[in-house]
Each structure stands twice: as structure tokens, then as C-alpha cells.
Amino acid sequence: MDYKEFESKNIFGLGAENTAYAKFFIGMSYLNPLTTPGDDKPGYANVTFEPGCRNNWHIHHAAKGGGQLLLCTAGEGWYQEWGKALRSLKAGDVVEIPAEVKHWHGAKKDSWFAHIAVEVPGENTSNEWLEPVTGEEYGRL
């Protein structure tokens, strides 16, 4: 999906360059916060990936609760949990990621991709960023 077609479908908007987390991504991503997270409510943000962009392997830690939901809204992407099969994503797909599960997500090589990322509230939550998905690994997809 080229940018012009993607832009017409990305209803939550591109947002700003995701500079705060750029070191955990290969390629360009954009972040559009939709709500302000709090102790008793999740944070929602539209994350957009340019073609080929993906984040590093990472884990959402929590003593209780926690994890992440991905609500796919435009384009096509990938999701994978450590040791499991790759999952193709498109608009309308939902990914439930429990706390303590190592995973990554991002755009396909030839498509922009956007999802709403929902940080599920929990106790003692944190994110641990790990190794990148290498070009060799990604190139085999």
C-alpha cells in the first residue's frame, strides 16, 4: 500500500516522528497519542510504520495485569511472539499480548501500517527493549 492510499485510510492520523523511541525501531515510525494514560486507565496511541519499519523485540512486564493490545487500523503488517509463527496483520485485526511475552511488530516491506497501541494497566509495569529484528531475519519474511 503506497502512502497516498494509506493516508486516506489512516483515520487516527500520522502524528509526529517517533523520535523518543527511534532507537528501538528500524525504519521510520510516527506516534499520535490519543489519550493520556493514568493509573486506572490505559493509554491509547496510533503508531504508524513506514514500509519495512519494525520495532525491536520487547517485553511488557507486569507483576499483575499489564500487557498490550494492538488494534490494526490501516495497511499491512507483521506480529511475532518469540518461538511462534509469524502472523500477518491487516485493518480490523486485534492482537492480545499478555505481559511477559517477548514479541515484535511492524510494517510489511511494501506497505505502510498503523495500529492503535493500548497499554493495559497493571501493577509494576515496565517495558524492556531487546535486540532488533535483523535485516536478514526480516528479509526472509
Query: Contacts from 91-99 at CB under 8 Å and sequence distance 24+?
Result: 91/9, 94/69, 94/70, 95/69, 95/70, 96/67, 96/69, 97/60, 97/67, 97/68, 97/69, 97/70, 98/67, 99/60, 99/61, 99/62, 99/65, 99/66, 99/67, 99/125
The per-residue pLDDT for 53 is 97
Q: Is the pLDDT of residue 134 over 80?
A: yes
Strand partners, 82: none
Dump pLDDT digits (tens) for 59-79. Answer: 999 999 999 999 999 999 999
pLDDT at site 43 = 83
Q: What percent of the chain has pLDDT over 70?
A: 98
Q: Is the pLDDT of residue 40 over 80?
A: no
Cα 88 to Cα 15: distance, rounded to the nearest angstrom? 24
pLDDT at 86 over 80: yes
pTM of the predicted model over 0.85: yes
Query: Cα separation of 135 and 141, whole Å?
Result: 10
pLDDT at 141: 79
State yes or no: pLDDT of 49 exceeds 90.
Answer: yes
| Set of cell numbers at residue 124 | 509494576
Confidence at residue 39, expressed as pLDDT on a 0 to 100 scale: 63
